[in-house]
Amino acid sequence: METEATPNKRFQFHDMDVAVHRNTFARDVAIGLTAPQKWLPPKYFYDQRGSQIYEQICALPEYYLYRAELEILSTYAAEIHAEIGHLALVEFGSGYARKTRYLLAAYEWAGQPFRYCPVDISREILWDTANRLVQEYTHIEISAMHTDFAGEPEVIQAFQLEKKAVAFFGSSLGNFTPEESVEFLRRTAAILGPEDVFLLGIDLKKSPAILVPAYDDAQGVTAAFNQNVLHRINYELGGQFDPQTFEHVALYNAERGRIEMHLRSRLPQHVPIAKIEQAISFRKDETIHTESSYKYTANEVRDLGHRANLVLRRTWFDARRYFLVALFQSH
C-alpha cells in the first residue's frame, strides 16, 4: 500500500496496487461467467460511473433505503455521537459520505480534533470526497484508504488506531450471504478493542410491493446501474458486450429473504473478453446474477451479531421502521 501526497496536511491518502485490483476483477469475471449460474460480485458496480448512477438511484422515489437511513442519521446523530464519544470513525464503503456528514457534523460541533478514516473501492470518489470534507470541517483529520475491504476487514489495522468506531452503512452487508456476513462481522469483531464500537446500517424485511420497485424503478436508473458492470468489463478487460442486449431483472426471493438482481440475455450470443482470453456463451434468457440484497428483521440483526461475537447495545429506526442502525460492541 502506498501513501500519496495530498493538497492538505490534514489529509492522508493510502492506495492499493491498482494492477492487483484489475487482475482480481479479471479473475472474478472468468470464474463468475463460466459458472453454471453465471454471476458477478456487486462490488464491481462501483467504478466512478457506477457510483454516480448510484447517487441518482438514491434520489428516486422508489428507493426508500437511502432516505430511511438518512432520516436515522440526521435525527439521531447527536445521540449516536454521544454513544461513540471521540473515537476515530472508520467507515467501510464510504462513497460520497453524504449520510455520514451528519455524524461528522456532530464531531465538529464538539469542537475537538477528530479523525475520519473512509475506506472505499472507488478511488476517484474517495479522493474527491476526502478533499471536500477536509475543506468543510475545521477539526477533521482524514486518513483515506482505497482498497477492496470486503474479504479482508483487517485492512483497517493499517490506520493504527488505538480506539475506533467502525461504521458500515447503506445496508451493504446485505450484499453478502448470511454466512459471509457472519464471517465479515466476526473478523471485524476480532479487531475491535474493549472500548471500540461497530455501527451497522441494515435494511429490514417488508412487503415485496415496497422492496421490488426499490430495485426496479420506473425510470430505468437501476437498470443502467446493473448494466454498468458490462461497460466495465468492456473498457477494463477488453470485453465486447452490448449492454442493451441484456435486460435488467429484479425479484424478491422470499425463501432466502433477499432481493436478487440479474442481467438476462435477450438473445443467444457469444461475447469475447480479451483479458481473460475467452468468449462467453449465453443462451436466450440466460442470466447473470449480479446482486443479492438480504433483508433482516431486528431480531435477526441481533442474532447475526451474536454469531459474530458482537453484543447489540443500541438500535435506532426511521419513523416507518423500514431501516435499522445498530450499535454493537465485541464480547
The DSSP secondary structure of 46-61, one letter per residue, reads -SHHHHHHHHHHHTST
Q: Which residue has the cell 493538497?
A: 7
Per the structure, the count of domains in the chain is 2
Q: Give a yes or no: residue 306 inside a domain.
A: yes
- In terms of domains, do 99 and 191 share one? yes
pLDDT at 211: 98
Q: How far is CA 24 from CA 94, 114, 126, 174, 261, in A?
A: 21, 34, 20, 22, 22
Q: Give a yes or no: residue 157 inside a domain.
A: yes
Angle in degrees, CA 254, 45, 257, rounded to 5: 10
- In terms of domains, do 45 and 139 share one? no
Q: What is the CATH number of the domain that holds 164?
A: 3.40.50.150
Domain that holds residue 41: 33-59+208-294
pLDDT at 161: 96
- In terms of domains, do 230 and 142 share one? no
Cα-flanking dihedrals φ and ψ of residue 134, to 5°? Answer: -70, -20
Q: Give a yes or no: residue 23 inside a domain.
A: no
- In terms of domains, do 10 and 134 share one? yes
CB 282 within 8 A of CB 265: yes
Q: Give a yes or no: residue 187 inside a domain.
A: yes
Tell me the mean pLDDT per 10 residues along the chain, length 331. Answer: 71 76 88 98 92 94 98 98 95 95 96 96 92 96 93 93 97 95 97 97 98 98 98 97 98 97 98 97 98 98 97 98 97 83
Q: Give a yes or no: residue 27 inside a domain.
A: no
pLDDT at 21: 66
- In terms of domains, do 231 and 196 share one? no
- In terms of domains, do 48 and 178 share one? no
Return the C-alpha torsion angle 211, 322, 59, 218, nearest 10.
20
Amino acid symbol at 56:
Q
Amino acid symbol at 160:
Q
Q: Which residues contact 99 (CB under 8 A, 6 or more apart)?
A: 66, 69, 70, 73, 74, 169, 170
Chain Cα centroid distance, residue 248:
20
pLDDT at 331: 83
Q: Give a yes or no: residue 25 inside a domain.
A: no
- In terms of domains, do 76 and 181 share one? yes
- In terms of domains, do 131 and 224 share one? no
Q: Give a yes or no: residue 229 inside a domain.
A: yes
Q: Give a yes or no: residue 28 inside a domain.
A: no
pLDDT at 5: 64
- In terms of domains, do 162 and 309 share one? yes
- Helix axes of 221-237 and 48-58: crossing angle, nearest 10 degrees: 180
- In terms of domains, do 176 and 304 share one? yes
pLDDT at 309: 97
Q: How far is CA 288 from CA 50, 233, 242, 273, 315, in A?
A: 18, 13, 14, 15, 36
Q: What is the tens place of the pLDDT at every residue in 196-248? A: 999 999 999 999 999 999 999 999 999 999 999 999 999 999 999 999 999 99
- In terms of domains, do 212 and 169 share one? no
- In terms of domains, do 299 and 202 share one? yes
